[in-house]
């Protein structure tokens, strides 16, 4: 009887250890996946290390299908929420092209996936997609080989629209250190962090009707704008949590 009792205890401990290990691995992989797909998230992109996130009390990454789902949802305080970005859509296109070009070498069924991959797959089946990429790293060309060019093309169009709005504004962007037109080869490339801050500060100075119009005309730049706002909030929250963590030690 005593031997059976010890066996049960050992099995319970093994199951508990296995559960914790799985949870930690899942969060570690989720962080890697958010970075790989460049998803929007509640930190505004200001990622910390896995260890630091765990230290200050974040225990899970929750994937949702849109920013609206995040804004209207109710999520636990110990979670970071992530959702698709323009880069994620471009990377999904790259994955499908890569799979098609290497269909004789890539077995999607092994990963419980079907072609073509969808944005629903990217969110609901992220573990399978991450496993697919890991196990086929040496197959063909990189899935991301055309992503940056397409990203730059889309952003250039939006930067031109925003430049025109600034040129028609009742202030001179040059007085605030912004050179027009905005493009990836001048201010954004030289000092991206400072340049984004200046651009978004000037956006706030535009007439309200112009701001409303730009919401639909430059959606991806506006998504970066909201990321910047979340980054400031995240930094304040992180500092508060870090202080509470240090005081508890």
DSSP annotation of 117: P
The reply to whether 16 falls in a domain is: no
Distance CA 118, CA 121 (A): 5
The reply to whether 238 falls in a domain is: no
pLDDT band with cut points at 50, 70 and 90 for residue 3:
very low
The reply to whether 116 falls in a domain is: yes
Same domain membership, residue 157 and residue 131: no
Q: Does residue 227 sit in helix, strand or coil? A: helix
Contacts of 221 (CB under 8 A, 6+ apart): 155, 158, 159, 162, 199
Number of Cβ within 10 Å of residue 17's Cβ equals 10
The reply to whether 78 falls in a domain is: no
The reply to whether 128 falls in a domain is: yes
DSSP annotation of 110: G
The reply to whether 15 falls in a domain is: no
Number of domains observed in the structure of the chain: 2
Q: Residue 184: its pLDDT value, please?
A: 54
Say how far residue 30 (Cα) sits from the centre of its chain.
11
Q: Residue 53: its pLDDT value, please?
A: 87
pTM for the model: 0.81
For 28-37, what is each residue's pLDDT tens digit? Answer: 999 999 999 9
Q: Residue 55: its pLDDT value, please?
A: 83
Q: Which domain holds residue 154?
A: 147-217
Between strands 40-41 and 60-63, the pairing is unpaired
Question: How much is the average pLDDT of 122-143?
Answer: 95
Same domain membership, residue 127 and residue 94: yes
DSSP annotation of 41: E
Answer for the pair 109, 146: CB distance below 8 angstroms, yes or no: no
Last residue of a domain, one of 76, 106, 135: 135
The reply to whether 29 falls in a domain is: no
Query: For 200, how many CA atoms within 13 A lie in the half-sphere containing its CB?
Result: 17
Among residues 70, 139, 67, 141, the alpha carbon closest in space to that of 105 is found at: 139
The reply to whether 75 falls in a domain is: no
Who has greater pLDDT, 249 or 79?
79
Q: Which two tokens stand for residue 135?
A: 């196990």
pLDDT band with cut points at 50, 70 and 90 for residue 193:
low
Q: Which residue has the tokens 């005081």?
A: 247
């Amino acid at each position: 009887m005593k031997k059976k009792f010890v066996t049960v205890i050992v099995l319970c401990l093994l199951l508990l250890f296995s559960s914790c290990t799985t949870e930690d691995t899942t969060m570690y992989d989720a962080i890697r996946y958010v970075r790989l797909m460049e998803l929007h998230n509640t930190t505004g992109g200001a990622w910390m290390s896995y260890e630091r996130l765990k230290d200050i009390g974040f225990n899970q990454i929750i994937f949702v299908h849109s920013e609206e789902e995040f804004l209207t949802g109710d999520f636990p305080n110990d979670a970071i929420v992530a959702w698709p970005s323009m880069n994620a859509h471009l990377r999904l296109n790259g994955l499908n092209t890569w799979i098609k070009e290497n269909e004789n070498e890539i077995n999607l069924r092994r990963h419980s996936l079907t072609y073509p991959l969808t944005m629903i797959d990217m969110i609901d089946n992220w573990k399978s997609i991450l496993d697919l990429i890991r196990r086929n790293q040496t197959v063909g060309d990189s899935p991301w080989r055309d992503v940056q060019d397409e990203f730059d093309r889309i952003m250039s169009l939006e930067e031109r629209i925003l430049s025109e709005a600034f040129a028609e504004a009742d202030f001179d962007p040059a007085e605030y250190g912004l050179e027009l037109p905005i493009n990836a080869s001048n201010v954004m490339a030289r000092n991206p962090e400072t340049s984004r801050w200046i651009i978004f500060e000037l956006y706030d100075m535009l007439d309200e009707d112009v701001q409303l119009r730009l919401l639909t005309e430059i959606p991806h730049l506006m998504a970066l704008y909201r990321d910047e706002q979340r980054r400031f909030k995240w930094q304040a929250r992180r500092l508060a949590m870090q202080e509470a963590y240090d005081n508890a030690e």
